[in-house]
Amino acid sequence: MRLDLLSNVLLLGSTLVSALDLATAKAKGIIPRSLQSHDKIRQHPRDVEHRTSYIWNGGEVSGPRFSSVTAEVVIPNITFPYGYNSTAYYSSSVWVGIGGDQNTCDDPERVYNGGLIQGGYYYLYDKEGDFGVFAFYEWFPNPPIFLDDTQGILTDIGDHVRMTVTQKDNTTGTFTWENFTQNKRFEIDLTAPANGTLCTNHAEWIIESFMTPQNPEYYFPDFGQLTFHKVKAVSEEGRAASLADGIIIAAEPKLGSGKQLTSCENVDSETTTCKWLGYMGIFD
């Protein structure tokens, strides 16, 4: 999902979606697409830039044109520290991608009319009984494609996975999903949809929240701590970006409140760790 600067966020209303309906929900605008109003920047040790976002948590690098980004995750379990609300959704997505950040994009033609190639997995727990982890890929503005639905590829808590996306000429790319625990590998060639040409001067590894003031019933599930291992973003010239010069992003659903969903840090040259901070009172 793109990280937009638009202020008008679509309302969820009373429509509920199941795991395999998420693609339909996004296509119909049920899950919000317009997500970031502004960002704040502060400097931390090693000159790592910190930003707040409406929904993104994780890391980003910018500067050259990126041809690929990859990261590994051991999928952490989900808990419910505030008790389980059977009328709510607990949902987030974990992915790597190229493009999609209007704050970083340096191509005027793509800032408001660009795409995002991404892939990883969704957490989804809802009152219809959809509990689990679902691998996906997406070239926004097209909706996500789920591997359990289209390929029969299942994903479980505790699996060690690697997510990789590549792009060429801003309009073609690949997504590769590797599950080392289950010894499964999937790769697909992708082509940009209409209005999906990439702005390629940034690449990211993200835990995405759908919890906004307009969608408070979409809770950000407690994953405890999630670590992106072996993060590597490579430029079109073949150079690997340095995380020390990157950006750390934390979601602040009520922008300006100072209440953030995660605390993330780059712990070494190829590792970003994010800790879940909680959402109780996040909109107060």
Full pLDDT tens readout for the chain, 284 residues: 545 432 222 212 222 233 334 444 333 333 333 323 334 333 333 456 899 999 999 999 999 999 999 999 999 999 999 999 888 999 999 999 999 998 889 988 888 888 999 999 999 988 777 789 999 999 999 999 999 999 999 999 999 999 999 999 999 999 999 999 999 999 999 999 999 999 999 999 999 999 999 888 899 999 999 999 999 999 999 999 999 889 999 999 999 999 999 999 999 999 999 999 999 999 99
Residue among 138, 208, 217, 237 flagged as catalytic:
208
DSSP letters spanning the chain: --B---S-----TT----GGGHHHHHHTT-S-----S---EEE-GGG-EEEEESSEEEEEEESS-EEEEEEEEE----B-TT---TTSEEEEEEEEEEE-BTTT---HHHHTT-BEEEEEEEEEE-TTS-EEEEEEEEEETSPPEEHHHHT---B-TT-EEEEEEEEETTTEEEEEEEETTTTEEEEEEEE--TT--B--SEEEEEEEE--BTTBTTEE--B-SEEEEEEEEEEETTSPBPPGGGSEEEEE-SSTTS---SEEEEEEETTEEEEEE---TTTT-
| 10-21 pLDDT tens trace | 212 222 233 334
208 as an active site residue: the answer is yes
Specify the CATH architecture of the domain 19-276: Sandwich (2.60)
